[in-house]
A and B are shown apart, each in its own frame.
Chain A
Amino acid sequence: MLKVEGLKAKISDHEILKGIDLEIKPGEVHAIMGPNGSGKSTFAKALAGDPSVKVTEGKVFFLGKDLLAMEPDARARAGVFMAFQYPVEVPGVNNASFLRLAFNAKRKQNGQEELDPLEFDDILQEKIKIVEAPQDFLDRSVNQGFSGGEKKRNEILQMAVLEPKLALLDETDSGLDVDALRVVSEGVNRLKNKDNSIILVTHYQRILSYIVPDFVHVLSNGRIIKSGGKDLAIEVERRGYDWLVSAGVRA
């Protein structure tokens, strides 16, 4: 699915990622954890093609293709999806129309016919149940005036509509109360299958008790310093990050 080799990246003039290697197979869930400023969000952004992140070295292959050579929209149409940590408000753009545009962009790419609003609504009605969102969710402008929890739900709704092969969930748990966290996590779990993969970027172990990872990687100062199974997350929760960081363990 995804192969990352020696990825280095900077934001403005600060080098944030200092050489990341990672391989993800279909059906796997990988959690990326780490203290603040370790580079975990930057890693997700680099994969999605955020223009504020400049990749300086390394290679990324997605389904065998050179991901870094692709524009962000081409990455999306190829099956990469990032759920934003801070979903952007797009005033004046109706949520349902936006979802349809995104959905049709992908269909067009695959040589399928685009759906009109009525046809698309059938799909949307199914998907909206996954995130337990009210109908007016669709009529409002994208994320405008949404609460923090609604924004995150809307991200997962987009994920449900686009059915990505690789989902990057960038701190999707931040700012969620327990109920919203459950809804969002259950939504993700329903979308998970043996053919798609998930990278879950998080600071806390909390979400990992809902979305159980196959692998956990701890990132510090732009490098993966330790990798392990789901138990590593529990250990981090118990002991914090300091013991890993100060030990300077290299996975």
Chain B
Amino acid sequence: MTGLFPRAFGPDEDDDVNMTAQDMKNNYRDTASEYVPHSGFSEWIEAARKNSFDLLKQTGFPTKKWESWKYVNLLPILEKSYTEPGDDSSFTKEVFSSLPFSGEQFRAVLVNGVFREDLSTIGTEGLALESIHSSLIKDAAPIHTFGTPAQENNPFVLANAARLQGGVNIRIKKNLSLPGPLHVFIVTSGGTGESIAAHPRIAITACENSLSDVILHFCPLAGAAFTNAVCEVNLLRNASLDLIVMQENRLSHDLFFAARVGLDEASRLDCVSVSRGGGMIRNDFQIDLMGPEAYADVSGIGVLSGSTALHNEIVVNHRSPMGVSRQLFKNILTDETQGEFNSLAYVHAGAQKSDSQQLNKNLLLSRSAKAYSRPSLKIYADDVKASHGSATGRTEQQEFFYLQSRGLDKKLARFVLTFGFAEEVLMKISVDGIRQAAENFIRRALEEMMPEYADLS
């Protein structure tokens, strides 16, 4: 199997910054010869795959000249040779049951991008789970499983579609309050193999007046090297979705996640991502407030150690009046890690009385950690509330003294403040069990990190 992306497809080491016409031609040639149709897919899926592939061929992969990829070190991914086996038969029910939350009532399991019906909950009233390549769900509202690829600006989202091996369609019926959270396991598993790449795709349609919690658990297992996941969410009128993204990454596994969310009138999204490196993580949220009075709260907490990076790229489009958007992204950075917050709130013409907030805070626990914070605004309406802010630094001396003055020793005070920094995001997680799991996972991460920084006050 050739690499995920043939060398000439992406930028070369030397021409990372200056791609030449010759390279472009090579890209075209190589990609054209690389396209592999999937025999098991229906015509429309195959057409969509091919379409995305053709578009990807035109755009190529990002270089550092691309504003939103400026700080992303892509070469190791583009130059690596991956295998894409699709499903892993060694990922059995027994293996699955060892994962946290595998015993929950509502489950959808993707293994290397392929929907595993045998491990998932099928046939719950009002909750439809189906492989993307199965026939379309009956009575479904229009499913935008492949979004609008012609407008897609992230080549990896196109790559996901072009390399699609399967995926899952999730539909929450009109007026349904899902009685428990739906856990989606995105497993990348090598079995006995190495350098596995997967392109999982999740499409969620929350129909009118529905109420649901969906948790995406990223589970990179042994042998996993790259997961390039896409989640498309459509919230119909007055639907409400809590989307929680759990990313406990492992070393030598890079994780790209793109969410494309469309919100109809008066619908509401509350999204929290909890990220821990490992390998690099890049999250790309594109939120479109399509209908009036739509509400989107997107937040994230990252805890990084070693030499890894977390990139959060957020675009919120206010396309209709009276939309509200909230962003709160926080990172705790040690060692040589990098955290990026690159966010655009775009209020389009006519989106009057939009209300947008962007906030990024970084806690640096070492002198070599770096935070890149770039909140920006584009406003083409005149009656708008918009605020943005960014703060990067160490623990505040006054906060630290305050805790000490109550008898907490230095070590405990630092731990409490650091955990509290994270907790502001974690407390937004509405599902109790998940919030506790997230708190434990952040607490464990901090316990690993803190001893080394005990003398840095």
Contact = CB atoms under 8 A, between A and B. Distances in A.
Contacts of A178: none
Given A92-B424, A93-B416, A141-B420, A50 B406 contact: no
Nearest to A144: B424
Contact of B424 (A49, A91, A102, A105): A91
A93 B410 CA distance: 16
Interface in B406-439: 406-410, 412-413, 416-417, 419-424, 426-427
B360 to A, nearest CB: 14
A105 B401 contact: no
Interface residues of B, number: 26
B416 A101 contact: yes
Interface of B: 396-399, 401-410, 412-413, 416-417, 419-424, 426-427
B407 A50 contact: no
Contacts of A75: 405
Interface size class of A (residues with CB under 8 A): 20 to 34
Contacts of B402: 84, 87-88, 90
A75 B409 CA distance: 11
A73 B404 contact: yes
B417 A90 contact: yes
Contacts of B399: 88, 90
Interface in A20-78: 48-52, 71-73, 75-77
Contact of A106 (B401, B404, B407, B426): B407
A45 to B, nearest CB: 9
Interface in A89-129: 90-94, 98, 101-102, 105-106, 109
B397 A52 contact: yes
A215 to B, nearest CB: 24
Contact of A51 (B401, B403, B427): B401
Given A51-B397, A52-B397, A88-B399, A76 B416 contact: no
Contacts of A82: 405
Nearest to B422: A92
A88 B395 CA distance: 13
A73 B420 contact: no
A197 interface: no
Given A71-B410, A101-B412, A101-B416, A49 B405 contact: yes
Q: Top 8 A-B pairs ranked by shortest CB distance? A: A92-B423, A92-B420, A93-B420, A76-B407, A92-B424, A105-B407, A88-B402, A102-B406
A227 to B, nearest CB: 27
Given A90-B403, A92-B424, A105-B409, 12 more contacts: A51-B401, A77-B407, A88-B396, A88-B402, A90-B417, A90-B420, A93-B417, A98-B403, A101-B416, A102-B407, A105-B406, A109-B407
A91 B403 CA distance: 12
Contact of A91 (B407, B412, B420): B420
A73 B397 contact: no
B403 to A, nearest CB: 7
Contacts of A87: 402
| Centre residue among B396, B405, B417, B426 by max chain A CB count within 10 A | B405
Contacts of B417: 90, 93
A49 B405 CA distance: 8
A73 B421 contact: no
Interface of A: 48-52, 71-73, 75-77, 81-82, 84, 87-88, 90-94, 98, 101-102, 105-106, 109, 141, 158, 162
B403 A50 contact: no
19 contacts: A49-B401, A49-B405, A71-B410, A72-B401, A72-B405, A73-B404, A73-B408, A76-B404, A82-B405, A90-B402, A90-B420, A91-B421, A92-B419, A93-B416, A101-B416, A105-B408, A105-B412, A141-B420, A141-B424
Given A87-B402, A88-B399, A101-B412, A93 B407 contact: no
Contacts of A106: 407
B285 to A, nearest CB: 22
A72 B401 CA distance: 7
Contacts of A162: 406-407
A105 B408 CA distance: 6
Nearest to B421: A92
Contacts of A93: 416-417, 419-420, 423
B427 A92 contact: yes
A96 to B, nearest CB: 13
Contacts of A92: 419-424, 426-427
A122 to B, nearest CB: 20
Given A48-B405, A51-B401, A73 B419 contact: no
Contacts of A49: 401, 404-405
A158 B419 contact: no
Contacts of B423: 91-94
Nearest to B413: A73
Given A92-B419, A92-B420, A102 B397 contact: no
Contacts of A84: 402, 405
Nearest to A86: B398
Contacts of B409: 71, 73, 105
A102 B403 CA distance: 8
B453 to A, nearest CB: 18
A185 B424 CA distance: 33
B422 A73 contact: no
A248 B426 CA distance: 57
Nearest to A97: B416
A81 B401 CA distance: 12
Contacts of B401: 49-51, 72, 88
